[in-house]
Amino acid sequence: MGQLLYNDDTYKIIGICMDVHRELGKGFSEVVYGDALEIELINNKVNYSRETKFNIVYKGNLLPHRYKADFIIENKIVLEIKAISMLTDSHIKQTLNYLAVSKLKLGLLINFGEDSLKHKRVIF
């Protein structure tokens, strides 16, 4: 079996997210998990940007609204976080859209809203 895309980075990010979930549990809003995650990313010396905005172009026209990805990790991974009862296909499609506009290849979709942390790798 071949090596997964950004496997070491992915493993580290998911571990950090598990630490946040273990500490906070489920039930908080997405922004609370994002704040805690930001502390962990700093403590683990992970290069990131938060709420990165991406332009959307439609038929050569720049649209006034932009996509806002929760986190961009190491300038190569979109980290999209949720705090909901269950991930759905629409969340995967949202992450794919973030990948399309960011021109990045890997997205991690993380859900803090379940009893145990759920995550999905999304490849573009």
The yes-or-no verdict on residue 1 having pLDDT over 70 is no
d(CA 123, CA 57): 22
As a whole number of angstroms, the distance between CA 96 and CA 42 comes to 26
Phi (first) and psi of residue 110, to 5 degrees = -120, 130
pLDDT digits (tens, 9 = 90+) for 75-92: 999 999 999 999 999 999
List, in order of start, the domains of the chain with CATH numbers: 7-123 (3.90.320.10)
Please name every residue paired with 38 in a beta bridge, in sequence order, or none if there are none: none
pLDDT in tens, 40-99: 999 999 999 999 999 998 999 999 998 899 999 999 999 999 999 999 999 999 999 999
pLDDT for residue 9 is more than 80: yes
Residue 79 CB-density burial (10 A; 0-12 exposed, 13-18 middle, 19+ buried):
buried
Report whether pLDDT(2) > 70: no
